[in-house]
C-alpha cells in the first residue's frame, strides 16, 4: 500500500509542472504586497487618530509603524521594474513580420487596382483580335466600323491609372518581400534588438520602410532614432526576366516551386 501511495504521489507531482515566474509576475506580486501594506497603513492611521481624538485608547507599539516599507521591499520592487523595462516582449522579428503582413495587404489592394486598370486597357485586345484577321476590303471596312462604333479609345486617365497601379504593385511587392526576408535574417533582427535594448527604444511604436532604388531598409523608433541597412538585399533581387518567367509560369497554370 505504501508503494502505491508513493507511486501516486510521484504521478501527481509529474502531472502538475510548475510554471516559471516571469518578471511581470514578480512585479505584480511585489506591487500588490506594497499596495496592500499601504492600504492597511491608511486603516491603522485612521484608527489611531480616531482613538487619540476621543481618548478611546493608545495604539500599541508597531500598530502603525508595522506597515512601514522596508529597504528590501523597495529594492525588490525596483528590481522588478528594471526587469520589466529591460524585457523584450516585441522583438525585431515580430515587428518585421507584422510589417510584411501589412505590406502584403497594401500589395493586395494595389493588385486589385491594377486588375481594374488592366481591364480598361483590355479593349486593345479586342481591336488587335479584329485587326489580326483583316485580309479583304470587306474585312477592312468591318474593322473600320468596329473602331468607329465601339468604345475602344484609350484616354490619358486610363493610361495614368494603369501606370500608377503597376508602380504601386512594384513598390508594395518590394516592401513585402524585403520585410519578410529581413525578419528571417538573424543579423538584422539581432542588431535591431540590440539597438532597442541599448537605447531603451520600443519597436511597438517604430516604423519601417524599404527603398529598392538604393536597397535600403530603415527602422525608425518613435523617438526619432533610427538604424538602416544598405545593400543588404543585393543577392535577393530578381531580374526582369526572372519575375516575368515566374509570373508567366504561375499565370498559365504551370507548377512553380
Task: Round the average pLDDT of the chain to a whole number and report it.
Answer: 84
| DSSP three-state, residue 8 | helix
Residue 248 has pLDDT above 50, yes or no: yes
Cell of 130: 479584329
Residue 201 — left, alpha, or beta (φ > 0 → left; ψ -120 to 50 → alpha)?
Answer: beta
The upper half-sphere exposure of residue 233, i.e. CA atoms within 13 Å in the direction of its Cβ, equals 25
Q: Quick check: pTM over 0.85?
A: no
Better-scored residue on pLDDT, 35 or 133: 35
Question: Where do the H-state alpha helices sit in the chain?
Answer: 2-15, 23-54, 71-86, 92-121, 123-132, 137-149, 156-183, 186-198, 240-251
Nearest-Å Rg of the Cα atoms of the chain is 35
Are 37 and 69 spatial neighbours (Cβ–Cβ below 8 Å)?
A: yes
Q: What is the pLDDT of residue 134?
A: 75
> What is the mean pLDDT of the segment spanning 192-210?
89
How far is residue 200's CA from residue 66's CA, in Å, rounded to a whole number?
38
Exposed/middle/buried for residue 32 (C-beta within 10 Å: 0-12, 13-18, 19+): exposed
> What is the mean pLDDT of the segment spanning 26-45?
93
Cell of 162: 494603369
| DSSP three-state, residue 220 | strand
| DSSP three-state, residue 227 | strand
How far is residue 182's CA from residue 180's CA, in Å, rounded to a whole number?
5
Residue 5 has pLDDT above 60, yes or no: no
pLDDT band at residue 138, thresholds of 50, 70 and 90? confident
Give the residue among 204, 205, 230 at the shortest CA–CA distance from 217: 230
Residue 14 has pLDDT above 50, yes or no: no
pLDDT band at residue 132, thresholds of 50, 70 and 90? confident
Q: What is the pLDDT of residue 92?
A: 93
pLDDT in tens, 73-130: 999 999 999 878 777 788 999 999 999 999 999 999 999 999 888 887 777 776 676 6
Give the residue among 191, 228, 187, 190 at the shortest CA–CA distance from 207: 228
Amino acid at each position: 500500500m505504501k508503494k502505491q501511495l508513493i507511486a501516486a504521489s510521484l504521478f501527481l507531482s509529474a502531472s502538475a509542472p510548475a510554471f516559471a515566474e516571469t518578471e511581470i509576475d514578480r512585479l505584480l506580486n511585489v506591487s500588490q504586497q506594497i499596495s496592500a501594506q499601504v492600504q492597511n497603513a491608511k486603516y491603522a492611521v485612521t484608527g489611531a487618530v480616531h482613538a487619540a481624538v476621543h481618548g478611546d485608547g493608545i495604539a500599541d507599539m508597531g500598530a502603525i509603524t508595522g506597515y512601514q516599507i522596508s529597504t528590501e521591499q523597495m529594492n525588490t520592487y525596483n528590481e522588478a521594474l528594471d526587469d520589466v523595462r529591460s524585457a523584450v516582449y516585441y522583438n525585431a522579428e515580430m515587428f518585421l513580420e507584422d510589417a510584411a503582413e501589412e505590406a502584403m495587404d497594401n500589395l493586395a489592394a494595389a493588385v486589385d487596382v491594377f486588375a481594374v486598370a488592366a481591364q480598361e486597357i483590355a479593349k486593345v485586345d479586342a481591336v488587335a483580335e479584329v485587326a489580326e484577321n483583316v485580309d479583304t476590303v470587306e474585312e477592312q471596312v468591318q474593322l473600320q466600323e468596329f473602331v468607329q462604333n465601339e468604345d475602344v479609345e484609350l484616354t490619358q486617365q486610363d493610361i495614368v491609372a494603369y501606370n500608377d497601379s503597376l508602380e504601386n504593385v512594384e513598390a508594395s511587392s518590394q516592401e513585402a518581400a524585403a520585410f519578410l526576408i529581413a525578419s528571417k535574417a538573424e543579423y538584422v533582427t539581432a542588431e535591431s534588438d540590440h539597438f532597442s535594448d541599448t537605447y531603451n527604444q520600443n519597436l511597438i511604436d517604430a516604423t519601417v520602410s524599404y527603398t529598392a532604388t538604393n536597397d535600403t531598409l530603415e527602422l525608425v523608433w518613435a523617438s526619432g532614432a533610427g538604424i538602416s541597412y544598405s545593400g543588404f538585399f543585393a543577392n535577393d533581387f530578381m531580374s526582369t526576366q526572372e519575375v516575368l518567367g515566374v509570373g508567366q509560369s504561375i499565370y498559365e497554370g504551370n507548377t512553380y516551386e
